[in-house]
Amino acid sequence: MSKNILIVEDEPDLRTTLEFNLKSEGYKVKSAADGEAAINEIVKKVPDLVLLDLMLPDMSGLEICKKIRNESFSDQVSIIMLTAKGEEVDRVVGFELGADDYVVKPFSVRELMLRISSILKRGSEKNTSKEQISIGDVEINLASHRVFISGLEIELTAKEFELLKYLAERNGRIQTREVLLEQVWDYNNSVTTRTVDTHIKRLRSKIGDVGSKIETVRGVGYRFNYVV
């Protein structure tokens, strides 16, 4: 079944180029030139992926991203931000609000197509079971708090388990250190971002080759990136 993609971009030439290339790849495509039109399109039909320009005439792409992530259908939608801004602060804010990827203009359309394909593939492979997360060789049993890799059980501490679980549930999506502190450690005053780095290092060493799937995103945080 063809995936539905919504382009939210106010530059007519770029919007037309993206529409042409996405349709050529077999995607069903809708487009919007501003935030209000984008929200109306999402209400009519929830897309599988949104290509979201950061700078729009009526509202910012960050605001739209936040609105999507606050909806019940949030997990059904992947978001790639398109922007002329390449500053680290923009990337961090975008990822904190739930963007899956970030592409700085000008960009290679072919590279963007590959990123879209990769993100949509990960989305299709998500295990929706509430009892277990299964990604490739990794099995995380949520009820018993046990982790198996290639059938072998891995002994993890409670925090290591929660950290792996949180990252795996968001496979392919970058998580900042601050978000991990909030979600895994509940922002305990005694915990610093250095603690996150230490736990990531220990977790990687315990899970062997799968540890390489936990990628460090320089200046931002970490991403569990397991494409089967």
pLDDT of residue 127: 44
Q: Which CATH class is domain 132-224?
A: mainly alpha
pLDDT in tens, 128-160: 446 788 898 999 998 888 999 999 999 999 899
CATH of 4-124, one of 3.40.50.2300, 3.50.50.60, 2.40.30.30, 1.10.357.10: 3.40.50.2300
pLDDT of residue 75: 80
Q: Where in the chain is the domain with CATH 3.40.50.2300?
A: 4-124
- Weakest mean pLDDT among 57-66, 163-172, 190-199: 190-199
Give the Cα separation of 215 and 224 in Å (integer).
6
pLDDT of residue 10: 94
Give the Cα separation of 98 and 68 in Å (integer).
9
Give the Cα separation of 176 and 221 in Å (integer).
4
Average pLDDT over residues 5-19: 96
Average pLDDT over residues 55-68: 92
Give the Cα separation of 102 and 89 in Å (integer).
12
pLDDT in tens, 190-208: 667 788 999 999 999 999 9
Q: Where in the chain is the domain with CATH 1.10.10.10?
A: 132-224
pLDDT of residue 100: 85
* Residue 74 DSSP label: G
Token duo for residue 168: 């795996």
Percent of the chain topping pLDDT 70: 91
pLDDT of residue 172: 86
Closest CA to 89 of 122, 62, 123, 119: 62
Average pLDDT over residues 46-70: 92
pLDDT of residue 126: 52
pLDDT of residue 219: 82
Q: Is residue 1 predicted with pLDDT exceeding 80?
A: no
